Chain A
Amino acid sequence: MGGQPVTPIDEPRPLPGGLARWIDTYRAYSVAEMAITAQYRMNTVMWLIGLLIEPIIYLVVWTTIARAQGGSVQGYTASDFATYYLALLVVRQATIAPSPYRQANRIKRGEMSALLLRPIHPLHSDLADGYVQKLSSLFVLIPLVVGVGLAFGAQIHPPLWSALMFVPAVFVAGLLRFFFQYAVSCIAFWTDKLDGIWQGYVTMQTFLGGILAPLPLLPLPLRIMATILPFRWIFSFPTELVLGRLTVQTALAEFAVQIAWTLLSILLLHLLWRAGIKRYSAVGG
């Protein structure tokens, strides 16, 4: 009997081992997420408008004050504020992490059960989703930021080392934000609802992350709190690198703090996750 050799279709492709396996995994998650994102293009545009409006509001308010004060507020000129807020916008977008509400909902509705059955920690799919979202929205955001930057007279002239350091700083900031928010979302294992907690979190972020005002403009007690808590290391530190106001020594020291907070967040997440998963008892999903 001739004809085609029969290929067994139900024999699973052998899983690659080691690093190749992880790359494979992340690629698969990314492709899936890209397909989803592409369906909601209009959503992305609307969301970008929403994203742009808050920095523009604070930027305009501070620029107005700088002009009224004869050009600058504590050494920040109108053009510095423009640079600061646009850099901050890019940092916020580049470090975007999944909303803890998503996690809380998974826990409340029992969807977590299905995720836990997979032979891989749910964290990996979230991390991969996030990075697709970031890349696709940065693609749209960068031209917008350049446009708004020109309109508001932003000037970028940080020293070269500072600009180079921006890249790893944003990368670590992204990890820190991801792990810290994930750790916070684990609280839902105990409370089911996150409303009050998350609103409190966002409020702290607004003040202590340098969103309301560049941190040097805040009163001393808030500046101290900002140094202790992670928000500054997520948002403010990479942004200040773009502004080019830090000395090499300060920047390196701050980078070290940023890495330390990232490791601490991973530890925190690990502990909260382990304790939380023991409490988790939802069915279905």
Chain B
Amino acid sequence: MRQLRLITLYLRLGILNEVQYRVNFFSQIIQSALGLFVALGALSVIFAHTTTLNGWSSAEILALVGVYFLIAGLINLIIQPSMNRLMEDIQNGLLDYVLTKPEDAQLMISVREIQMWKIIDVGMGIAVLVAALVQLHEQIGWLQGGAFILILTCGGLMIYCFWLMLASTSFWFVRNDDVLMVFNSLYQAGRWPVEVYPGWLQFTLRFIFPVAFAVTVPVQALTGRLTWPTFTLTLGMTVVLLIVSRFVWGRGLRAYSGASA
């Protein structure tokens, strides 16, 4: 309960901090709108030449686009800013300030920084998803809806764990922003069903940068394509990643010597 209050407090602080810069709101609107425009444009150009893409109808791909924006929004809203802050703080020793506080440090570093206006991407993703659901409503039951929400949560958690582990490597290697840049460019691949890619890229998107589990697999659950093995694998991998990332973070903390700011 106290943790929940702490999270809300941090989020409120983050929001208040960002609301000062209202011009960013408008530039974010432009950015989000253009991103959506490209995604929908690509969709309409491609579906002018075909009716299905690897067995996915245009409405199903639309749902994928929605989830893509939703997850990208969440990453940019809170995960990436907090993790960037963590890496910076490790580099210049400011992490001391977090560690001296009497709360779980992992919790605090995870919600510390928030780029409020990225919420527009989240909202846009939800809107696109709803538009897709309207077209798909006949093939979706309660079961699929429930599975979708469960898998989507797992996917989001996996992305969080992935970032936490990467950011934690800063305890040993001073700079690794490059790997995060690669994540961002690989994330683009999530806009299409992961099965269309060649084997090596599918493997990368599933087990190295877990983009597939955050975007493709939830939509598979929604459209009733989810197989039991994938379902179990997703749940299993989420649990494993949660444990492993917590472990890596802990080992990293022990390696942290501070820089005494």
Contact = CB atoms under 8 A, between A and B. Distances in A.
User: Is chain B a partner of chain A in the same complex?
Assistant: yes
A69 B52 CA distance: 10
B243 to A, nearest CB: 29
Given A64-B53, A64-B54, A42 B178 contact: yes
Interface of A: 42-43, 46-47, 49-50, 53-54, 56-57, 60-62, 64-65, 68-69, 73-74, 151, 193, 195-196, 199-200, 203, 206-207, 212-213, 217-219
A46 B181 contact: yes
A56 B185 CA distance: 12
Interface of B: 26-27, 30-31, 34, 37-38, 41-42, 45-46, 48-50, 52-54, 178-179, 181-182, 184-186, 188-189, 191-192, 196-198, 201
Given A46-B179, A60-B201, A196-B26, 16 more contacts: A46-B181, A47-B181, A49-B185, A54-B188, A56-B197, A61-B196, A64-B53, A65-B49, A69-B50, A199-B31, A203-B34, A212-B42, A212-B45, A213-B45, A217-B49, A219-B45
27 contacts: A46-B179, A50-B182, A53-B185, A54-B185, A56-B197, A56-B201, A57-B188, A60-B192, A61-B46, A61-B53, A62-B46, A64-B53, A65-B50, A68-B52, A68-B54, A69-B50, A73-B50, A151-B198, A195-B30, A199-B30, A199-B31, A203-B34, A206-B38, A207-B38, A212-B38, A213-B46, A219-B48
B49 A195 contact: no
A203 B37 contact: yes
Contacts of A43: 178
A200 B186 CA distance: 22
B192 A57 contact: yes
Contacts of A57: 188-189, 191-192
B150 to A, nearest CB: 28
Nearest to A206: B38
Contacts of B186: 53
Contact of B182 (A46, A69, A213): A46
Contacts of B50: 65, 68-69, 73
B160 to A, nearest CB: 22
A49 B180 CA distance: 12
Given A42-B178, A57-B192, A200 B34 contact: yes
Given A60-B196, A60-B197, A203-B34, A65 B181 contact: no
A218 B192 CA distance: 19
Nearest to A73: B49
Contacts of B52: 68
